[in-house]
Amino acid sequence: MEKKIRVLVAKVGLDGHDRGAKVVARFLRDAGFEVIYTGLHRTPQEVAMAAVEEDVDVIGISLHSGAHMTLVPKVLNYIREYGGNPDELVVLVGGIVPEDEFDELKTKGVDGIFIPGTPISEIVDFINQKVKEKRNKA
């Protein structure tokens, strides 16, 4: 049997807007994934440590603070530092992200960016497909 997909849903930084993260976490769980939610106000180190220790396939970072360009790359660097490989992970960002910053985030290792209004089924499909691709490569 295929190993169940493990997803870390993370709130990083000072931003307290957790509606999106929690609703997405709940729906991903209902879709059959194993979901770990970090809770609020985590540092990039804490999120990276959780991703490595929990051995997740997917990390979804939720931000409504405009700090994504600083904090997302930091999380990925710390994952590397703690012995993980962010390239083997499916890295997702959700929340308020201006469209003209999508490309830069993607070059920094983000696989998918989901803005407000994205149907959660779209996120589920994206995860299934990307995890398959990455597992096949590994």
- Chain residues binding other proteins by CB under 8 A are 13-19, 22-23, 25-27, 29, 35, 37, 39-41, 43, 65-67, 69-71, 74, 96, 98-100, 115-117, 119-121
Of 126 and 134, nearer to other proteins (C-beta) is 126
In three-state secondary structure terms, 9 is strand
What is the nearest approach in angstroms of other proteins to the Cβ of residue 87? 23
* H or E element in which residue 6 lies: strand 6-11
Contacts of 116 (CB under 8 A, 6+ apart): 20, 95, 96
Q: Report d(CA 108, CA 115) in Å as an integer.
A: 18
Q: In angstroms, what is the minimal distance from the CB of 38 to other proteins?
A: 8
Residue placing its CB nearer to other proteins in the complex, 13 or 86:
13
Are the CB atoms for 18 and 11 separated by under 8 Å?
yes
- Taking the complex as a whole, the smallest distance from the CB of residue 56 to other proteins amounts, in Å, to 16
**For other proteins, the closer CB: 20 or 86:** 20
Nearer to other proteins, 2 or 100 (CB): 100
Parallel, antiparallel, or unpaired for β 112-114 and 6-11?
Answer: unpaired
